Structure 1
């Protein structure tokens, strides 16, 4: 069967109903019946399970699934994948290289990495899957102890790019090549190249092909630091914005009450959510400073406008927040440029959807 066949589409529809109605056993039965009927395990992972999970995220963004519903559906997906991985009929003895698959530090969205780990296992790789949120020092310790030939790092949120950069640099310093993937690195791999990764892949199958072709080990670079890749960081704007984030959130919240009258009627929960949204805005502003990429921040701001609109929160509330930040950070040239571009994008474009997740959850 192929990803576009009517049978697979019908299975997706059935699996969607099962995961969104919290029917874990029904979801597992759909997948295992399909396998018994001839669907290969890799197709089940990438053409059946993965698209259903992507739809879960899209429906959350459109406010048609609550956070709890999204989490429940995702948990079922994870358990179905685990059950598939332990099915005796789909075990492949390792015959290729040894690879470690992990999410970068602070990255909790582990499903893309899990799918890659399972695909590589099916293809005959020996895989150490370390899961979500792996601190760099523990990753390096594991590589020393395991002797893995390559490490595959996954990240879904662009705000994790500084942590990814640290991990890439550390792995290369001990001579282990790094393949990266996930939405955080851009649809075209631009941030993978910016941060000096040895290879990038847009999906699990492409990653498997890239690994099969071989990724040369980097020559250990003594004394190499992250700023060597990103000389614009010498201006310290990223560091200063990151360190002052809590105070900036408080300042914007206080001033918003005078500029956005609707806040006067907000209850405690709404104020807490507003503070969370402001923190996310500053997270993305900081990572845009880290990468020196205007598009990263403007895309997030227009996406946030769409998320707020879907939840019946006026997107115009973003304007005064950005204005306040522009005033507070007026002495930072790159920050001023990013905020100006974001305000311009917000004025000229309707609320749009995008690849980011995190705000308002």
Structure 2
């Protein structure tokens, strides 16, 4: 009899995430009820938000000890009790860290097959859509502007920076390590990259952004946001996508200096968002990202691990900055 491998939350972390916070089990195969669909996970997305969900309720309900770890999945329909889906269909949803799962048909979104399939998790999945939604639709970079992107070598930042370049902006990325910074410039077309591990951010931003910063795409918060605030131009825009510097800790650092003082004096606009707030913008992201990708205007970096059991270590490594581009797990 086929079983269902699952990764459970053994205990909520009170400080940094470790392997001991997870447990891998073999569970019985789920059986779809009326209106439900049985799915087999193909790819599991690993995202900094996975760790944020462990801190309590946010835009979604809080996770609990003993439950299957939540995570976004690209899956294949095995069998369906919903006439809208059939075996072999590709779907996406929050299927969790498990080989098989059941969901009501209304919770699934069908995806058209594509080669490579992993692009439906990276540039054409949550990652790319988030980058487009935040950068293109909300940030609206313009030709000649200076745009700064933090966590620029990550899944979202690497796409967001390229979108700003397509708009004609000068793009400066912030990343950790000389190798990542070199790739951003040499492969991904960034105009400059700052290694926050090797130099003072205030000094580096003054050097690379001599005319100030018009738009900042923030993935990290903390001291990086603070340094950028002091270089923002009058009526600049800040798009808050994530706060990865504050996720994997039991004691988040105090908020950055300059809030709200610099926001007031510089007349800045600071906006947060959650993907899906405006469905029509997600549809726009799908159309434009597909066009740019098909035309060869986007470079995609993927970091693919094999086997569901690699997910806990993969997430821990992601939070430590091991990856370049989109980290995911190939489950089947």
Tell me if TM exceeds 0.5: no
Whose strand fraction is larger, Structure 1's or Structure 2's? 2
Give the TM-score normalised by structure 1: 0.26
| Structure number with higher helix proportion | 1
